Structure 1
Amino acid sequence: MSILVIAEHDNAQVKPATLNTVTAAAACGGDVHVLVAGHDAGGAAQAASQIAGVAKVLHADAEGFAHGLAENVAAQIVALVNDTKDYSHVLLPATASGKNIGPRVAALLDVAQVSDISKVVSADTFERPIYAGNAIATVQSTDAVKVITVRSTGFDAAAATGGSAAVESVPAMAAAGGSSFVGSEIAKLDRPELTSAKIIVSGGRALGSSEKFHEVLEPLADKLGAALGASRAAVDAGYAPNDWQVGQTGKIVAPQLYIAAGISGAIQHLAGMKDSKVIVAINKDPEAPIFSVADYGLEADLFEAVPELTGAL
């Protein structure tokens, strides 16, 4: 039996979360196949074929896949699974797209989805975080086809180059008709995207205002080439935009370096960043929970420490 990974892509390139999902798929055993469902997505299919560990790329090309509508992609996945009878697992990244498509696939196949896995124990057993990451549940699935969403921070990314998988065209399903693409507003970022950034500088409510947030943290982020993040408290206070929020109710990140300035370390925030490779915490409260997960802790006033750190770089 083979493992089917659903590629997340922009029709030209494969998005980083797909690489982590391929790693999870390889741990399940069996050949790893990648489905690229898109429109004029030959570039994404070729990129997927170069991912290390991928045995085959299935390319379904139709206008209905141009914007990744969940109903259309789910119908394509279900058709592949039912027609080939070759797939024991269907894996998707636990992103907004994957969380939209996965439940539809599971419902159409009449199986239970296993969500947000962080470890593959065996082909039918997986670990996933619960209670904001404070406990790990071990889940065993007896379904013939296991539909799984993968927390990308739990798995190393597969090498984007080095593979030489064959690209096979498969018949594209007709548009399901349950939804249509109306439009999109794409944010233009001068910094790395938060979930894929290698370095993140995050601020908390202690910064006191939006002006201080930018005045204190932006110079440090500029020096490091980092993305800017924020705690939920800072976002709720209006100091930072919603798409900067890191945490259980924001974005789950695992950069090489995470700098937390003025963040106390509430449970829901720790759940979103504690898998970072190196965590640096700056807080004047020695009892702040953030220090419990930090590799390096600085008990200091952030308004003094952060500018000094920026000046030393």
Structure 2
Amino acid sequence: MAAFLFIVCVLVISPSLSVIADLRVGFYDATCPKAESIVRQVVENRFRTDPSITPALLRMHFHDCFVRGCDASILIDSTQANSAEKEAVPNQTVRGYELIDEAKKNLEVACPSTVSCADIITMATRDSVALAGGPNYTVPTGRRDGLVSNEGDVNLPSPRFTVPQALRSFSDKGLTLNDMVTLLGAHTVGFAHCSFFRSRLSSSGRPDPTMDPALDATLSKLCGPADSNPRAFLDQNTSLVFDNQYYHQVMLNRGVLHIDQQLSLDKSSAPMVSNFAKNGAVFQQSFANAMVKMGSIQVVVGTDGEIRKNCRAFN
């Protein structure tokens, strides 16, 4: 990974609602008061050596919440009797599972059978975003872990979607166009394998005219022959800093994925892209709110589900 230097700026943001559905801020204050600090320490230790853990956790959180809700079903390992969500093609490059395992192990020592794996994903993602320079927002907790994880349930929005196609996927989860444009801003620290955008490049023989020629040349050289599949940063400017540069890039026709570029070209989303590009503070506030909202999708609460002892297996 290329060397990098940046100053981490932490913006403390409190969402407008401290209680989302049956979740609440400080859910573990009485039962496991050190829960958040235990998770944070694990994330900080990993971030020091691998800042790319931020996009990894963001992707894991998104892929979990968009399939059966935010219930940690993505963490379950397959068995001979069941092919779990991890086996689905979009999830085969999800990573960061060992960080969740470490946090769970430490939490089980401090307060056994108390903190859910679903809440660990949510807290760890929030902490990694703050470490990368993004908003440090409070998250309501109280999720319980789901009891189902099936490969066949995985149906995630494609990076090749148009804005209307992507919006249908987000709307199905109760998210708005503004939420979608905001959450895709997580690509400011993301990367994608060439297979997800190779068809847009000159090397494919059918170059996408909406891509900046200089970016096309750079990515064509990086991706090489069709049988290679390296990764490219989605924000080619400040690749590992959580800022609003992603929106500047897509306004300059430097969106790597098709959906990224379409955000600045579609008349419904273009004004939002422009607004976030002009005002980083507005983007960070919107991102905090959208993450809390996404984190409440179809949550398992109360006495439903379970608190797993091992995040990779049902009790």
TM-score, structure 1 normalization: 0.27
Q: Which has the higher strand share?
A: 1
| Higher RCO (CA < 8 A, seq sep 6+) | 2
> How does the TM-score come out when normalised to structure 2?
0.27
Higher helix share: 2
